[in-house]
Amino acid sequence: MHPDISPIAADLGIAPEHLILHGPHMAKVSLKALHDKPQRGKLILVSAITPTPAGEGKTTVSIGLSQGLKKIGKSVALALRQPSMGPVFGRKGGATGGGKSTVRPAHSINLHFTGDFHAITCAHNLLSAVIDNQLFLGEARLSPERVLWKRVMDMNDRALRIVRTAVGKPTERITGFDITAASEIMAIMCLAESLPDLRHRLERIVVGFTAEGDPVYAKEFRVTGAM
Residue range 115-153, pLDDT digits in tens: 889 999 999 999 999 999 999 999 889 999 999 999 999
Of 101, 31, 26, give the one whose Cα is nearest residue 67. 101
Question: Residue 62 and residue 98: Cα distance in Å, rounded?
Answer: 12
- Tell me the HSE value of 151 on the side-chain side, using a 13 A CA sphere: 21
**CATH second-level architecture of 116-221?**
2-Layer Sandwich (3.30)
186: Cβ contacts below 8 Å, ≥ 6 apart: 120, 180
Kindly report the pTM of this predicted structure. 0.86
Amino acid at 196: P
Helices (H), the chain: 5-11, 58-71, 85-88, 106-110, 116-137, 184-191, 195-203
Query: Among candidates 128, 124, 133, 125, which has minimal Cα distance to 169?
Result: 133
Could you give the CA distance from residue 197 to residue 178 in angstroms, rounded to a whole number? 25
Confidence of residue 192 (pLDDT cuts 50, 70, 90): very high
51-55, 74-78, 196-200: least confident range: 51-55
**From residue 104, how far is each of 77, 99, 181, 193 by CA, in Å?**
14, 12, 22, 28
Q: Where are the domains of the chain?
A: 5-110, 116-221
Percent of the chain topping pLDDT 70: 100
Cα 184 to Cα 115: distance, rounded to the nearest angstrom: 18
* Cβ-proximal residues to 23 (8 Å cutoff; 6+ apart), any chain: 108
Count other C-beta atoms under 10 Å from residue 206's C-beta: 12
Closest CA to 66 of 53, 77, 55, 54: 77
pLDDT score at 1: 64
